[in-house]
Amino acid sequence: MNDIILDRIPFEPEFSPLLKTLHIREGSQDEADFKSLLKEAQEIANPKAIYRMAYIEAKDERQVIIDGITLSSRVLRINLDTSQHVFPFLGTCGIELEDWANSIEDMLMGYWAESIKELALMAALTKLESHLKETYQPGHISTMSPGSLEDWPINEQVPLFNILGNTKDRIGVQLTDSYLMIPTKSVSGIRFELTESFESCQLCSRINCPNRRAPYDETLYEKKYCPKLN
């Protein structure tokens, strides 16, 4: 199955909500400066995404083989128990905004630029989700990303990127030796059909996480994912 590359994604964030999020007072000099900064960003922004439908070839107790490449995670393996295929993906704010933000020396404007990059990433992921649904019309979709759980550590980025192929040349995203991505505002993972909703947050006990999307369920791992003893 050929990869689907999404670029030229519209980036048109609403201005007023951004002011509230960033605690910028309307009518202030900060508002004028931020408006100018956002205009610069919109002129060069090119958020992108890539995904594909890939087939599951084999499974064992804590591994799945997808397109000949092994991913190691007990939780992922159990979540894919009834699946025949998955959607490996990668979304990014784009190298254009990454280079632009890195050129900003002012600390406050640099903070604003990082927030703008985050919004561009969200635009890419939103486009990816809508395109996936329109193209494949799957049922309920859940997502897992390497590094989101101890069970699927960050070094699993390597086999995931191997499935996706040469992402640097195609959408400008590269994986560092420490398994982080450049541009920094990028997200990779596996999307899959699951009858019930799943979020990695359900298995994460981290307190006061600003990105939490679901409450921690301290019994879920033992009930569903813990290997059964004979």
Would you say residue 1 has pLDDT above 70?
A: no
pLDDT digit string, tens, across residues 119-171: 999 999 999 999 999 999 888 899 999 999 999 999 999 999 999 999 999 99
Looking at the chain, how many residues does it have?
230
What CA–CA distances, in Å, run from 44 to 8, 13, 64, 148?
11, 14, 39, 31
**Angle 29-44/95-102 helices, nearest 10 degrees?**
140
| 229 — pLDDT class (breaks 50, 70, 90) | low
How does pLDDT run across 169-205, given as a tens digit for each residue?
A: 999 999 999 999 999 999 999 999 988 888 889 998 8
Q: CATH code at 52?
A: 3.40.109.40
Into how many domains does the chain fold? 1
pTM over 0.85: yes
In a domain? residue 230: no
Taking the CB of residue 58, how many other CB atoms lie within 10 A of it?
10
Question: Mean per-residue pLDDT for 69-82?
Answer: 95
Whether residue 27 is contained in a domain is answered as: yes
User: Is-cis flag, bond preceding 88, omega within 30?
Assistant: no
Sign of CA dihedral 96, 188, 156, 4: negative
Which phi and psi (to 5°) does residue 22 adopt? -95, 5
Question: Is residue 230's pLDDT more than 70?
Answer: no
Lowest-pLDDT range, 39-43, 104-108, 161-165, 192-196? 192-196
Is residue 82 within 8 Å of 93, Cβ to Cβ? no
Q: Which domain holds residue 140?
A: 4-225
Quote the Cα angle for 80-81-85, to 5°.
45
Predicted pLDDT of residue 170: 95
Contact 42, 12 (CB under 8 A): yes
| 97 in any annotated domain | yes
